[in-house]
């Protein structure tokens, strides 16, 4: 699931998650290929072989402009796709992909919905299981890091505010 922060106005969003830094077309290709069935079900109108061909081309020339390729083929931004795939894989609703802005880069947060909207999987997911899901994802995407609590400030947040 993805969130357009503009829907929230100005302020901050907080959750437990990971930064999606330094992604390459190769990592995007691998993720989409591994989860092809889910991705195809999410975007049934997309000709995945054609889209993957363009990603392979960008990867070959070291372009890494995978967001444009995805968007041009009628798909969402990659953080959104990751969140959707994880939610389907794990029967959850709490993985949300965010596209970076001035004060933060792309990221994936665990932000379960209101208790009455949560699935049983959301309610029963332990921190250890969540850390394991994030660790597998980081490994799959070739990103170094660990999950942590993140606060994402967006739009016209005070210019003098410094993130740690």
In this prediction, residue 151 carries a pLDDT of: 81
Cα 37 → chain centroid: 18
In this prediction, residue 80 carries a pLDDT of: 96
Tokens coding 130: 């969540």
In this prediction, residue 103 carries a pLDDT of: 65
By CB atoms closer than 10 A (0-12, 13-18, 19+), residue 69 is buried
Tokens coding 157: 């947040």
In this prediction, residue 136 carries a pLDDT of: 96
Q: Is 18 helix (H, G, I), strand (E, B) or coil?
A: strand
Tokens coding 45: 């109108």
Q: What is the dihedral of CA 150, 156, 160, 164, to 10 degrees?
A: 10
What does the alpha-carbon distance between residue 143 and residue 98 come to, in Å, rounded to a whole number?
Answer: 16
In this prediction, residue 64 carries a pLDDT of: 85
Kindly report the CA angle at 152 between 151 and 158, in degrees rounded to 5?
105
In this prediction, residue 115 carries a pLDDT of: 81
In this prediction, residue 14 carries a pLDDT of: 84
Q: What is the pTM of this model?
A: 0.85
Per-residue pLDDT in tens (0 to 9) along the chain, 164 residues: 455 544 555 667 888 999 998 889 999 999 999 999 999 999 999 999 999 999 999 999 988 889 999 999 999 999 999 999 999 999 999 999 998 876 678 999 999 878 888 889 999 999 999 999 999 999 999 999 899 998 877 665 555 555 54
As beta bridge partners, residue 19 has 107
DSSP state of 4: -
Cα 11 → chain centroid: 20
How many separate helices (H) and strands (E) can be counted in the chain? 7, 4
What does the alpha-carbon distance between residue 161 and residue 147 come to, in Å, rounded to a whole number?
Answer: 23
């Amino acid at each position: 699931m993805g969130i357009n922060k503009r829907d929230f106005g100005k302020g901050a969003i907080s959750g437990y998650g990971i930064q999606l830094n330094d992604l390459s077309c190769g990592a995007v290709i691998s993720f989409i290929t591994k989860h092809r069935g889910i991705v195809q079900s999410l975007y049934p109108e997309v000709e995945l072989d054609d889209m993957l061909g363009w990603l392979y081309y960008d990867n070959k020339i070291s372009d890494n402009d995978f967001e444009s390729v995805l968007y041009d083929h009628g798909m969402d931004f990659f953080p959104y796709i990751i969140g959707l795939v994880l939610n389907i894989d794990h029967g959850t609703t709490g993985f949300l992909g965010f596209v970076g802005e001035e004060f933060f880069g792309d990221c994936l947060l665990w932000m379960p919905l209101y208790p009455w909207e949560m699935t049983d999987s959301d309610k029963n997911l332990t921190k250890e299981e969540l850390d394991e899901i994030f660790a597998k994802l980081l490994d799959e995407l070739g990103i170094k890091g660990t999950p942590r609590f993140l606060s994402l400030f967006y739009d016209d947040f005070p210019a003098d505010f410094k993130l740690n």
